[in-house]
Structure 1
Amino acid sequence: MEQQYDVGRGGTPAIARPRITEVEQHGIDTIPAHHRHSRPLDLFRIQFGGANTFATVILGTFPILLGLSLWEALAATLLGVVVGALFLMPMGLFGPLTGTNNAVSSGAHFGVRGRIVGSFLSLLTALAFYSISVWVSGDAVVGALVRLTGIEDSDLLRGIVYAVLGAIVIVVVIYGYAFMLLVNKIVVFGNTILIALGAVAYSGQVDLGYDPGPDAYALGSFWPTFVLSALIVMGNPISFGAFLGDWSRYIPAETSPKRLLGATFSAQLMTLVPFSFGVITATLVSGEADYIVALINASPAWYAALLIVVAFLGGLSTGITSLYGTGLDFSSVFPRLSRVQASLSIGALAFVFILVGRLAFDLIASVNAFIGAIVICTTPWMVIMTIGYVVRRGHYRELDLQVFNQGRTGGAYWFASGVNWRGMAAWIPAAVLGLLFANYPPLIQGPFRNVAGGVDLSLLVAIGVAAVAYLVLIKVFPEPRYVFGPDGPRGVPASDSPMPEVVDDHGASAHRQRHRAPAVGE
């Protein structure tokens, strides 16, 4: 199918805009300039659309479930969103500069083979948020159907709804970026309006003075419970860290960094809409075992019907944004798989995880543990990437980032057999020590969780270790001058050494050639 080409003002080059019914051809290869058809506004839409869902609403209920008052819960939510957004903002800068996703871009700081760390974080996040989105959206649809039609709830019914929702997500992911952008454009407006109608549906029921008292604090006292609540909320913006490059790679390289930073920060602030909905409605059904079923039963019939739409659109949006990037990235980690095949494989794995996790394990405990692992492991990775961006002055070599994906060796980011041990030596201890200090009961409880009276120090430890270790390592063991570009490094020394020549790894290259996806026009 032919692409649409738009010529810019003043005779600027034509931009190819794919049709939404056209299967995306690009994988993690560098996006050519004439295919960069997105804007910072699109980055805003995808982030907000991907978070304006029942999955985010569920995260918003946690501060209340953990025993905070309404106003304490809202304060913890605001803190978690703002702090998470500040760490996330720089992660939208890499895609326009490198033309690829953040996992591949991280090869500049972890090595073209060491970037597997980013791929692992992408997989962890995709499994968690794809599963959460299908779980909670499917449960909301089932609950509303039971309320409105009288159909009997059952594991079979839930499994069917999960399968339908999960299959639609995979179909959209296969079509790719343009279709995903359309879905998120709809969700930005549609779900915002539908959630706002909740103010009408629950008017007169909300108790602004809701406070279960100090005996309700899940961790025994205020500050440990407040910090844990903020960290759980923070997991939502942090979860986008591995994925922002999936979407920003379609934005022109000359786009102002301020506009990219602003798009991310404002999108995350807008997630306070679904978060606040979760906080406030959780007070209405406090003490109930199943938040979704209890909320639907407490809703007027007209709003219970609307919740089906909210849940369905939200499940699509969150599932798509989570699964798309992982399928994209793993098509390069496993060269036998095309982007479409990788998406199908990861989607199938995630669906098995959904069924086992939902039917055999405690949903709240599972979500709590996954969010904790994502925050602790991803934040130090983002810190290292951000420091690297600053000291490199935003200079990246697009072609050299792709050598491993193309079955070659060498280039600016080859370092030691494809691994930059400076980045790895900073990230590994940061993530490990963070987990040792973590307190995400009952599944993640590190041995040092009580050193501050029960206050969770895992994030501070992970961030501090990553930042200090990486800065010390790149000062004591300077990186090669050729990775910094013509203006040289900012604030750190550089070493003088020849750049490894890019050569074919004949075995890997032939393997990739046999199993690569067809190029456009083939």
Structure 2
Amino acid sequence: MNGRAVAEGGSPDPRTPGAGATAPPPITEIETYGVERIPAHDRTARPLDLFRVSFGGANTFATCVLGAFPILFGLSFWQGLGATVAGLLVGALILAPLALFGPLNGTNNAVSSSAHLGVHGRVVGSFLSLLTAIAFFSISVWSSGDALVGGAARLVGLPANGFSHAAAYAVFAALVLIVCVYGFRFMLFVNKIAVAAASLLFVLGVFAFAGDFDASYPGTFASTADPLFLPSFIGAALIVLSNPVSFGAFLGDWSRYIPAATPRHRVMGAAFLAQAATILPFGFGLVTASIIAAKAAPYLDPAAPNYVGGLLAVSPGWYFLPVCLIALIGGMSTGTTSLYGTGLDLSSVFPRFSRVQATVLIGALSIVFIFLGRFALNLTQSISTFATLIITCTAPWMVIMTLGYLTRRGWYDPEALQVFNRRQRGGRYWFTHGWNWRGVAAWAVSAAPAIAFTNIPGQFVGPLGGLAGGVDISLPLGLGTAAVLYLLLLAVFPEPRAVFGPRGPRLVRAADTPVPPIIGPGGTGAEHPARV
């Protein structure tokens, strides 16, 4: 234990490795923690666990579906590979700093965003978390359910009709909900299995498709000078990039169980490498989509693509069972990592709900969207549109969080972050009636034009999407605007000196503005900042 903390009557320093650590609870014990700060003695996770959950949540059949989009957009195999690698690396670099907030503050990233958007403005992060959860939970259920039904149809003759698909979706969604209700430990257990099992099954695909794969697949563009090539390349890269960016609002859900003393480069490295490793499922989707396009082109008709059906059509008979296992194991992993965090966060936004109740509610709403998207809407456009919204809305928020971390020198007051959750008022992050208009304005002004300039050919085009010659500039516009505007607002309208801690601000200046004490239910009128 930290002697000074004990002498002062405080708790052990959470930045002391192993301070007061206890054995983790059984995986079958329902998690009771919400978004309150995780005590040091319960922080038993490691960066490797963060890697497993992050990689397990993306090493799935749903990612294979996203990996097929470059071919669907008309790119050749090598052009698609270039778009995939570019999207993955850029997305992983944007994502990695978001892993630091969990160990530092012991809570999820939406709550941590209170420091930069205000204790009420943190609902922006909650909204982004909800949007992401519904989108990727739906993608996992759609893709996994279709693969299970298609594989069962080929293996045992199960009728592949609307009823069988609906039944598969319902059963699969229920299984995901059960894991999420049990909580983090059970989810970590599922992902430990999923990482190894799904990776092995993807490697088996090398043997299944080696004879059919042709790296010289030309795509539909006769030349890169084709006016539609660059928009298609960028659109494909953005679809890939949406996968790592989609984890931005969730990383704190898992990294909050990592001890605060863990070196930051290890935490960021785990988050980055987890996304870089998803070249495996993305590559699987890219390779198999090129085979489908060459041998069973109707399955990739842009008007009504059916990647799962095409995959089963070109797979050897012995690979049907592995495809079903990938769908089941990987889909469970994606679904749980998407749904768990949003249930966790919603329970703090609406305190009448427990974590379990909020998880069930979000799961039920997602299931409604799943059935609407599958049976009443265009599935491909649903996936593409939601992925686009995730990028354009979440990426500026992530930039604000990262720059805020830099300007604060990684210093936060964990007690003040919890003001909203405890229904209190005041504290370092109260700003203007609970809103830090600097961060909120920078996010809104960056996200809105980014959506307007989005241009994904044949999928989603914003009202200003044609002004850049057909090129999708939504991501660089959103990222650049957020970075410049946020720093400009901090410079012109400095934040209170109290939010920066004892070392003061970095890159920006501070104002000598008084900070109101924390008052309200459970409030003491005092703050207890954590030093980094």
- Shorter-normalised TM range: over 0.9
From 130, 142, 146, the equivalent of 1:135 is 142
Residue 23 of structure 1 is matched in structure 2 by 30
Partner in structure 2 of residue 271 of structure 1: 278
Find the partner of 1:439 among 448, 455, 460.
Answer: 455
| Structure 2 equivalent of residue 101 of structure 1 | 108
What are the within-5 Å matches in structure 2 for residues 278-293 of structure 1?
278-286=285-293, 287-289=297-299, 290-293=306-309
Matches within 5 A, 1:232-247: 232-247=239-254
Alignment of 1:116-265 (within 5 A): 116-214=123-221, 220-265=227-272
Q: Judging changes above 3 Å, is the alpha-carbon distance between structure 1 residues 23 and 10 closer, same or farther for their aligned structure 2 residues?
A: closer
TM-score by structure 2 length? Answer: 0.92
CA distance 1:368–1:220, shift in 2 (3 Å)? farther
Tell me the CA shift for residue 497 of structure 1: 2.0
Compute the displacement of 1:223 (Å). Answer: 1.1
Cα pair 1:434 1:461 within 8 Å, conserved: yes
* Aligned equivalents of 1:491, 1:66: Cα separation in 2: 42
> Distance between the aligned counterparts of 2:18 and 2:507, measured in 1?
40
The structural deviation recorded for 1:301 is 1.6
Whichever residue aligns with residue 181 of structure 1, its letter is L
Whole-angstrom distance in 2 between the partners of 1:321 and 1:11: 26
CA shift in 2, pair 1:200/1:505, >3 Å: same
Deviates more, 1:223-232 or 1:287-296: 287-296
Equivalent-residue separation in structure 2 for 1:463 and 1:141 (angstroms):
39
Could you tell me the percent identity over the aligned residues?
55
**Residues 16 and 36 of structure 1 are in contact (CA less than 8 Å); yes or no, is this contact kept in structure 2?**
no
The amino acid that maps onto 2:308 is I
Matched, 1:331 2:347: yes
> What is the SS of the residue equivalent to 1:15?
coil
SS of residue in 2 equivalent to 1:209: coil
SS in 1 for 2:68: helix
Kept in 2: contact 1:368–1:441 (CA 8 A): no
For these two proteins, the number of residue pairs brought into alignment is 499
SS in 1 for 2:22: strand
| Counterpart residue type for residue 216 of structure 2 | G
What is the aligned partner in structure 1 of residue 468 from structure 2? 452
Give 1:449 deviation, angstroms. Answer: 1.6
Q: Corresponding residue for 2:420? A: 404
Tell me how far apart the structure 1 counterparts of residues 103 and 395 of structure 2 sit (CA, whole Å). 21
Partner letter of residue 507 of structure 2?
G
**Letter aligned with residue 45 of structure 1:** R
Matched, 1:111 2:118: yes
Runs of 4+ aligned residues of structure 1 deviating over 2 Å after TM superposition are: 9-16, 440-444
**Structure 1 residue aligned with 2:56:** 49
| C-alpha displacement of 1:230 | 0.3
User: 1:216: how far off?
Assistant: 9.9
Check whether the contact 2:21–2:44 (CA below 8 A) recurs between aligned residues.
no
Q: Give 1:383's aligned residue.
A: 399
CA contact (8 A) 2:17 2:262 kept: no
1:381 partner SS: helix
TM-score (norm 1): 0.93
Distance in 1 of aligned mates of 2:495 and 2:459? 39
Q: Deviations over 1:28-60 (max 9, x none)?
A: 000000010101111100010000001100000
Tell me: CA distance 1:225–1:443, structure 2 relative to 1, closer, same or farther (3 Å): closer
Unaligned ranges ≥5, structure 2: 1-15, 300-305, 524-532
Structure 1: distance between partners of 2:249 and 2:419: 20
Q: Aligned to 2:434, which of 403, 418, 424?
A: 418
Q: Distance in 1 between matches of 2:17 and 2:234?
A: 53
**Counterpart amino acid of 2:477?**
V
How many angstroms apart in 1 are the aligned matches of 2:112 and 2:323?
A: 39
Counterpart Cα distance in 1 of 2:21 and 2:191: 25
CA contact (8 A) 1:478 1:493 kept: yes
Q: Report how far residue 152 of structure 1 moved.
A: 1.3
For residues 46-85 of structure 1, the aligned pairs below 5 Å read 46-85=53-92
- Once the two structures are superposed, residues 311-340 of structure 1 have per-residue CA deviations (whole angstroms, 9 ceiling, x without a partner) of 000110000000000000000111110000
The answer to whether structure 1 residue 497 and structure 2 residue 504 are counterparts is no
1:364 to 380, 405, 424: 380
1:388-431 superposed Cα distances (whole Å, 9 cap, x missing partner): 00000000111110011111100010000110000011000100
Aligned counterparts of 1:54 and 1:10: Cα–Cα separation in 2: 37
* Counterpart-to-counterpart distance in 2, 1:463 and 1:408: 33
The CA deviation string for residues 137-185 of structure 1, in whole angstroms up to 9 with x for no partner, is 0000000000111121111101111111100100000000000001111
Mapped partners of 1:444, 1:471: distance in 2: 31
Task: Quote how far apart the aligned CAs of 1:203 are.
Answer: 1.7
Partner of residue 484 from structure 1, selected from 480, 494, 500: 500
1:186 partner letter: I
Give the partner amino acid of 2:175.
I
Contact 1:365/1:441 (<8 A) preserved: no
For 1:36 and 1:14, the matched residues in 2 are separated by: 7
Aligned partners of 2:232 and 2:457 also within 8 Å = no
Look up the equivalent residue of 1:189 and give its one-letter code. Answer: A
Q: Cα distance, 1:344 vs. partner? A: 0.3
Quote how far apart the aligned CAs of 1:297 are. Answer: 2.3
Measure how far apart 1:291 and its partner are: 1.4
Q: 1:365 touches 1:443 (CA, 8 Å); kept in 2? A: yes
Residues 21 and 175, structure 1, Cα contact 8 Å, conserved in 2: yes
Shift of 1:454: 1.0
Contact 2:17/2:261, CA 8 A, preserved across alignment = no
State the alpha-carbon separation in 2 of the partners of residues 158 and 120 from structure 1: 29
Letter in 1 for 2:481: V
1:450 deviates by 2.4
Asked if 1:469 corresponds to 2:485, the answer is yes
Contact 1:60 1:77 in 2 (8 A): yes
Q: Distance in 2 between matches of 1:11 and 1:242?
A: 27
1:345 to 361, 373, 376: 361
Q: Is the 8 A contact 2:92 2:244 kept in 1?
A: yes
Alpha-carbon distance in structure 2 between the residues aligned to 1:10 and 1:429: 41
Where 2:247 maps in the other structure, the secondary structure is coil
